[in-house]
Structure 1
């Protein structure tokens, strides 16, 4: 009887360079496809759709990324690093650092529907992503504490309010789409005014969207499937 083949990992042989290069190319194609689909449609995109977009087989996708959480982590880990509050904490003005942070993460939400989903969901199985989220959380708490100590941020503002803000912003982004794409800026401006203590300087309020643009957004929202991931 012919003995079973010994896998390369246990035989001491390294994969041929050509095979490693092909595997890396497939991985990059998958990540690029997932980024495009997640940005446009949110995290509801199926793994099968990602495989089709990347022009690879489902087996190839599962070899590179065994689970949906693995793929999401690979796509958004660097975005979560950018979402960290390091730059905001380095601002010598605690209130300016706080407003800068809020505006930055809301802009990132608006630019990428998938990232908007990541910010308002949890992925217990995606440990690397959750570790990055935890690191950002501690930075946010410090940012809030500093702004309150400077007496510019309301004392009753809590870190939970950040999550509520992100959920509200995600809802506006999903509802308005490209019909009134800058509406989120108006929302964030009003919320920063609500968070500020009396007499605190606040960023200028963005212009209100045109009535016709909001009307188009309302019509769009009434279509089946719009506004959901």
Structure 2
């Protein structure tokens, strides 16, 4: 009996950890990353002490809760950059990330946050934006991406797409697909393109440059 007790305790601790992560993912997806640790503990049906024992800071919890989305996001960018047709690769990134984002309200918040208290993704963000800037540069050199595109324009699309999470769940994916098509059409090089206004400064200088 005593030999089984440590194993039972470990199983119970793992169950609590899994419940906290499940609750955090659900709340972040529904409401964004501004939910409190106390709300997460309540949803997981664990005490605050148990939650903080498994996840000492909210930063650690955010990091683990979005591990899948972060891997998925990198895979999308890797696939787009590997496409021999840079415009097709660029379009696939917009389409797939739009769908990824609409499924989780909190992921874009966490990924694009400039708040050092919760921003655990800065290195990933810098790397992915740099890769996307290079992909955009190749698409523009091929004459398919509008000449006045800057990487901040893609960030605007990511931030704007976050608003689709407020649409009815049954319509979100369809809305995300249509939004992606509209964004791609706006990025396409055309002799009828109008002049854009000055781009806002949303990302760091090294990622902003499109060669």
TM score, norm. by length of structure 2: 0.77
Q: Distance in 2 between matches of 1:149 and 1:138?
A: 17
Deviation per CA, 1:170-203: give whole Å up to 9, x if none. 12x144334853333333212211111128xxxx
Q: 1:188 aligns with which of 180, 193, 199?
A: 180
Q: Distance in 1 between matches of 2:116 and 2:131?
A: 20
92-101 or 75-84: bigger deviation = 75-84
SS of residue matched to 1:197: coil
Offset, 1:121: 2.1
Larger Rg: 1
Could you tell me which residue of structure 1 aligns to residue 13 of structure 2? Answer: 23
SS of residue matched to 2:121: helix
Output aligned runs, 1:1-229, within 5 Å: 16-84=6-74, 85-125=77-117, 128-171=120-163, 173-178=164-169, 180-181=171-172, 182-198=174-190
SS of residue matched to 1:137: helix
Q: Distance in 2 between matches of 1:126 and 1:167?
A: 17
Offset, 1:17: 4.2
TM score, norm. by length of structure 1: 0.72
Q: Distance in 2 between matches of 1:175 and 1:52?
A: 24
Unaligned runs of 5+ residues in structure 1 are: 1-15, 200-229
Contact 1:99 1:192 in 2 (8 A): yes
Offset, 1:156: 1.4
Contact 1:77 1:132 in 2 (8 A): no
121-130 or 43-52: bigger deviation = 121-130
RMSD: 2.3
Contact 1:30 1:51 in 2 (8 A): yes
Q: Distance in 1 between matches of 2:185 and 2:179?
A: 10
Q: Distance in 2 between matches of 1:118 and 1:103?
A: 20
Q: Distance in 1 between matches of 2:25 and 2:119?
A: 20
Q: Distance in 2 between matches of 1:76 and 1:53?
A: 18
Higher helix share: 2
Deviation per CA, 1:68-113: give whole Å up to 9, x if none. 2211111112311211111111111110000000111111111111
SS of residue matched to 2:116: coil
Unaligned runs of 5+ residues in structure 2 are: 1-5, 192-211
Deviation per CA, 1:8-37: give whole Å up to 9, x if none. xxxxxxxx4444333222111110111112
Q: Distance in 1 between matches of 2:63 and 2:93?
A: 22
Q: Distance in 2 between matches of 1:130 and 1:26?
A: 29
Task: Report how many aligned residue pairs link the two structures.
Answer: 184
